[in-house]
Amino acid sequence: MTEINVAFAQTNPVVGDVQHNLALILEAAESVADTADILITGELALSGYPMGDLSYRADVIDATLSALDQLVAASTQEMFSSLYFVVGHISFATDARPTAQSSLAIAHNSASVIQNGTIIGTYNKQILPNYDVFDDWRNFIPGNNELVFSVSGKKCAVAICEDIWDANSSRPQKLNELGIDLLLVLNGSPYTRKKAAERQVAARSFQRGFDLAYSNLCGAQDELVFDGGSFLLNSSGTTLFKAPFERGCFLALPNSQSSFVEDELSTLWMALVEGLKQYCQKTGQHSIVLGLSGGIDSAVCAALACDAMGASNVIGVALPSRYSSDHSLSDAAELAHNLGIQYRITPIDQVHQAFEQTMDFSALAAENLQARIRAVLLMGISNTDGALLLSTGNKSEIAVGYSTMYGDAAGGFAPIKDVLKTDVWRLAKWFNSSRGSALIPVGSIEKPPSAELRPGQVDSDSLPDYELLDQILTLLIEHSATIEEVVANGFQLKDVVKIEAMIRASEWKRSQGAIGTKTTAVSFGTGRRIPLTTKFRKL
């Protein structure tokens, strides 16, 4: 068992704001300076992660390296005299570009070990992921060096994230032959609902007789949430310590394991709150506006907004039309009252009539008209009050294109775009249960979903039942199943064919969609890249 005290700095860097990111690391170091031997940050904690094509910019790299110099200088302070910093940062590539790599990359994804004014060495990420949201091979040149250093007589080595996800590579054996006692792994590992368990499995598979310290970022960047959860495994793969989904610095004292609960829905809720909160903070938004339809999606988004920004910074707007039912308004009002948010009622019928007097709308156009009038009013409030408009669509709707472009699809952030409708209901019930009160009105949870486009209209007029729809969507999207494979799972061919066609036909809508937090292996974001114009029938 490691006799080295490892501290995990679960920081929330802002891409490019290297002085801010440096301050976070130093603050973490100060909090554990008297007890920790090693402070390990997340991947690229000094630069921010992911950087996208900012990694091409020499000025961004220069700024990061200046901050690294400041960190080296700070490490000479008395309190840090025996502390090893293991810090993630971008650096100018020193290794040559492999023949196979045709990119514009000029940098390594690096981690430096710093001790008392000296950079002991710099490690460069070797395995550069190029799937899902990851574009590392586009943006970085791979490294090929080992960095081994000793702390209190124990040999340590460094790896970065994807480096440890292939247990069949020759590297675990190589590290074992080098006789290392502890592998320090810096990660920028985005949250998905199953990721926490997958990380531990990957880490254990990579171990060959050495302890392993896995450090992760904690915060969010655009569509990605980083859920902390840093952990320390002994050489047998036993978890000695696991940090919570919480920013801060966590000293991995054996047997000091936190007793926090890891319930899937509560963690999902935290991730959704964090994704929205950090998007607001990192883009300078101070308040949120959203339409309240009385339905479940907007109710859950309003609750998330409260947890992210505080109820006093949330404006809920009911925008009743001639087709709105009484319960729509009463459920919206009850929700706003329960959450304590600002509540406004803005009827749309006068505008609706003016549009109808201006032009003839077909039935389809007329259905979309209401949603678009609401978007204009909500964006009016967004511009007038300086509030971020939320798009409240869920993954089921977005998958099949059941939304109005420039209507309910409008918004700067879509908090539940990667949450299926059936999970939205689960979240709502979990939320009420966790608060010990039906803050989200029972009516919103229990009534049949309806866009209220026509009198008496319900979603099930044009969509399969959501329980069915969500299972098929999960197979088609998350598991990339073919139509035949979905049918082999017991679903009706006509349902699967219809849903698959709806997914294909709405590719263009998603290409214009607001970003929102990724919660699954395949979300509708930068990690899914499908042509808009394609005619393959089994997509």
Find the part of the chain contacting a second copy (CB under 8 A) among 75-83, 87-95, 256-264, 274-282. Answer: 274-282
Contact 436, 275 (CB under 8 A): no
- Is residue 443 involved in binding a second copy (CB under 8 A)? no
- Is residue 129 involved in binding a second copy (CB under 8 A)? yes
- Name which position in 9, 63, 93, 487 contacts a second copy (CB under 8 A): 63
Residue 4 or 289 having the CB closest to a second copy? 289
DSSP collapsed to 3 states, 162-174: HHHCCCCCCHHHH
Nearest to 38 by CA among 6, 68, 66, 8: 6
* Neighbour-count burial for 65-104, b at 16+ CB within 10 Å, e otherwise: bebbebbbebbeeeebeebbbbbbbbbebeeeeeeeeeee
* Residue matched to tokens 């460069």: 124
- Is residue 15 involved in binding a second copy (CB under 8 A)? yes
Find the part of the chain contacting a second copy (CB under 8 A) among 54-62, 75-83, 195-203, 323-331. Answer: 54-62
Q: Please indicate whether residue 161 is annotated as part of the active site.
A: yes
Type of residue found at 336: A
CA–CA separation, 389 vs 407, rounded Å?
12
Residue 34 or 360 having the CB closest to a second copy? 360
Nearest to 189 by CA among 271, 112, 248: 271
CB of 450 to a second copy, least distance (A): 20
Could you give the angle at which helices 326-339 and 296-309 cross, rounded to 10 degrees? Answer: 20
CB of 111 to a second copy, least distance (A): 18
Residue 19 or 238 having the CB closest to a second copy? 19
342 - beta bridge partners?
Answer: 315
* Residue matched to tokens 């080296």: 72
- Which of positions 405-434 make contact with a second copy (CB under 8 A)? 405-406, 410, 412
CB of 438 to a second copy, least distance (A): 31
- Which of positions 305-334 make contact with a second copy (CB under 8 A)? none
- Which of positions 33-52 make contact with a second copy (CB under 8 A)? 48, 50-52
* Neighbour-count burial for 372-383, b at 16+ CB within 10 Å, e otherwise: bbbbebbbebbe
Beta strands in 243-326 (DSSP E): 248-251, 288-291, 314-318
Catalytic one of 3, 27, 30, 43? 43
Residue 257 or 342 having the CB closest to a second copy? 342
- Which of positions 377-396 make contact with a second copy (CB under 8 A)? 377, 379-384
Residue 457, SS3 per DSSP: coil
Residue 135 or 331 having the CB closest to a second copy? 135
- Which of positions 345-384 make contact with a second copy (CB under 8 A)? 346-348, 350-351, 353-355, 357-362, 364-365, 368-369, 372-373, 375-377, 379-384
Q: What are the backbone dihedrals phi and psi of residue 151, each rounded to the nearest 5 degrees, phi first?
A: -130, 120
- Which of positions 195-254 make contact with a second copy (CB under 8 A)? 221-222
- Is residue 454 involved in binding a second copy (CB under 8 A)? no
Residue 207 or 368 having the CB closest to a second copy? 368
Nearest to 432 by CA among 286, 334, 329, 309: 334
CB of 352 to a second copy, least distance (A): 8
Q: Report how many residues bind a second copy under the rule CB under 8 A.
A: 100
Find the part of the chain contacting a second copy (CB under 8 A) among 109-117, 341-349, 452-460, 490-498. Answer: 341-349
Secondary structure letter of residue 96 according to DSSP: P
- Is residue 514 involved in binding a second copy (CB under 8 A)? yes
CB of 377 to a second copy, least distance (A): 6
- Is residue 30 involved in binding a second copy (CB under 8 A)? no
Per-residue CA distances from 131 to 135, 162, 422, 529 (Å): 7, 11, 28, 10
Contact 55, 90 (CB under 8 A): yes
Secondary structure letter of residue 515 according to DSSP: P
* Residue matched to tokens 């940098």: 107
Contact 113, 72 (CB under 8 A): no
Q: Please indicate whether residue 3 is annotated as part of the active site.
A: no
- Which of positions 458-497 make contact with a second copy (CB under 8 A)? 480, 482, 484
Residue 284 or 456 having the CB closest to a second copy? 284
Find the part of the chain contacting a second copy (CB under 8 A) among 33-41, 452-460, 470-478, 508-516. Answer: 508-516
Nearest to 524 by CA among 536, 512, 537: 512
Nearest to 498 by CA among 400, 422, 402, 405: 400
Catalytic one of 30, 146, 154, 161? 161
CB of 401 to a second copy, least distance (A): 13
Torsion of Cα atoms, 276 then 281 then 285 then 286, to 10°: 100
CA–CA separation, 145 vs 433, rounded Å?
52
- Is residue 536 involved in binding a second copy (CB under 8 A)? yes
- Name which position in 8, 80, 279, 524 contacts a second copy (CB under 8 A): 279
- Is residue 70 involved in binding a second copy (CB under 8 A)? no
CB of 325 to a second copy, least distance (A): 21
- Name which position in 34, 104, 259, 436 contacts a second copy (CB under 8 A): 104
- For residue 229 the two structure tokens come to 């959860």
CB of 289 to a second copy, least distance (A): 12
CB of 422 to a second copy, least distance (A): 25
Give the CA angle between residues 12, 18, 19 to the nearest 5°. 100
Residue 353, SS3 per DSSP: helix
- Name which position in 28, 46, 127, 290 contacts a second copy (CB under 8 A): 127
- Is residue 278 involved in binding a second copy (CB under 8 A)? yes
Q: Please indicate whether residue 367 is annotated as part of the active site.
A: no
CB of 232 to a second copy, least distance (A): 25
The set of catalytic residues is: 43, 125, 161
